[in-house]
Amino acid sequence: MSDGATNDDWLRLDNAAKIYPASRNDAAPAVFRVSVTLCEPVRVQKLQEALDALMERVPYYRVHLRRGFFWYYLQRHEEPLRVERLPAYPLSRIVLHRRGEPLLHVYAHGGTVAADFSHVLTDGYGAMRFLGSLAVDYLRRLGEPVDPGSLLMRPDEQVPDAEFEDAFQKHYREGLPGTPELEPAYHLAGVPSIAGYRTVTGHMPVHSALRAARRHGATLTEYLVAVYMNAIKRAFDEQANGLIRPRHKVIRIEVPVNMRRIHPSQTMRNFSLFVSPEIDLRLGDWPFERIVRRVHHQMNIQLDPAELLRQIARNVGGERSSFVRVVPRVAKDVYLSHLRRTIGDRSYSGVVSNLGRFILPDGLEPYVESAGVVLGPNAAYKTGCAVVSYADDLSITIGSVIADRTVEREFFRRIVADGVEICISERKP
């Protein structure tokens, strides 16, 4: 290993990864899944061969978490990663503090290949590029004439140093003002789901969803954020008419942004920030069109590169503080846990993560049916929405830890009302 490490056996955590092992939130484990469903059943032995080769190509993922006196770090993992049978539960449980625990699991069942990642390793872009590279090499080992192209990794190529970099440190600008503190946001209420964590997935044509978004004067991401915000507002209205009135009246959505599109980077580690569109229910009625307009304008303002650099200034500036550097890790754990609650869980009503088009080369439609993404559970938000597309299939998965289905129902009902046909399925243990 190179960038951020002193030898070949260990690697520093990137700036975004540091908060996860410190906060140790079992109710929000920061695990997510990306998957592809192939047109033919997976031949596990061939997939294992492809995985073995790819893990040599991505040494920064062949690691487990270790505790240092001042910081956590990543240690080389000697045990080979094995393809496992895809379990019934929507996501695996990656226990960060179990010695030798891999931070990546690969599964297969039927035609589906899935990879569960801890956010300590990477974000959605890194996960997609990994799984896309794995799928293409697997198909090549079956004798299929597929080319990974320029976006995917070849197992036999040299590992670029740029893939190791902590891009947050690279793009840090000293002296920039940090971001303002956000007031607490509304959180859904409800009894826990008997299933624990269940997911509902809607598949729809990309072109139909784009047409609906354009009719509202929005991009696809803006439209889906507004749809999700509107669904949470419906849940708020139902709660407000009950016996227990909501305390907080701001609905704010966390929307991750792939920073590689703004500041070019080859890093395969975390390099995502977020924008935070919101509506304040104290400001009168919020019909859907008003929500869409508000989301559109707020996201455009917050996506300004200078605004995003303020987040890097806050996060990296705190890490570089002379005082923080000499504080023992156990004290940092207490402080970072507090930060996760205050600037993270407390500040948002939910999350919409749109990965965009799954990273696969053109012409794979004869081999690949669809792609998917699932976010991990969050006890504060209660629900989360994950979006990815492949060819003309748009996959939207809403995960929930509560029994109430208002958000899922209102979310897909709104899209159907805009003329989009949806095929819905549910996954639970």
Question: Does residue 325 register a pLDDT over 80?
Answer: no
Contact 385, 355 (CB under 8 A): no
Tokens of 110: 């039927």
From-to residues of CATH 3.30.559.10 in the chain: 10-149+162-170
Contact 402, 196 (CB under 8 A): no
CA gap 92, 147 in Å, rounded: 31
pLDDT range class, residue 97, cuts 50, 70, 90: confident
Angle in degrees, 0-180, between the axes of helices 206-215 and 220-240, rounded to the nearest 10 = 70
Which amino acid is residue 350, in one-letter code? G
pLDDT digits (tens, 9 = 90+) for 274-288: 999 999 999 999 999
Q: Looking at the domain covering 198-358+373-427, what would its CATH class be? A: alpha beta
86-95, 123-132, 176-185 — most confident range: 123-132
pTM as predicted: 0.94
pLDDT at 6: 40
Tokens of 407: 């958000």
Residue of higher predicted confidence among 97 and 81: 81
pLDDT digits (tens, 9 = 90+) for 42-71: 999 999 999 999 999 999 999 999 988 788
135-154 b/e with 16+ CB inside 10 Å = b? Answer: bbbbbbeeeeebebeeebbe
From-to residues of CATH 3.30.559.30 in the chain: 198-358+373-427
pLDDT at 25: 66
* Percent above pLDDT 70 for the chain: 95
CA atoms within 13 A on the CB side of 264: 0
pLDDT range class, residue 103, cuts 50, 70, 90: very high
CA gap 388, 326 in Å, rounded: 42
Residue of higher predicted confidence among 161 and 243: 161
What is the residue-averaged pLDDT of the chain? 92
Q: What is the DSSP letter of 158?
A: P
CA gap 149, 136 in Å, rounded: 10
CA gap 290, 178 in Å, rounded: 29
CATH fold of the domain at 10-149+162-170:
Chloramphenicol Acetyltransferase (3.30.559)
pLDDT digits (tens, 9 = 90+) for 179-208: 888 999 999 999 999 888 999 999 999 999
pLDDT at 333: 76
CA gap 37, 57 in Å, rounded: 23
For residue 219, the tally of other CB atoms under 10 A from its CB is: 17
pLDDT digits (tens, 9 = 90+) for 137-182: 999 999 999 999 888 999 999 999 999 999 999 999 988 988 888 9
Cα–Cα distances in angstroms (integers) from residue 218 to residues 84, 202, 211, 294, 352, in the given order: 41, 20, 10, 10, 15
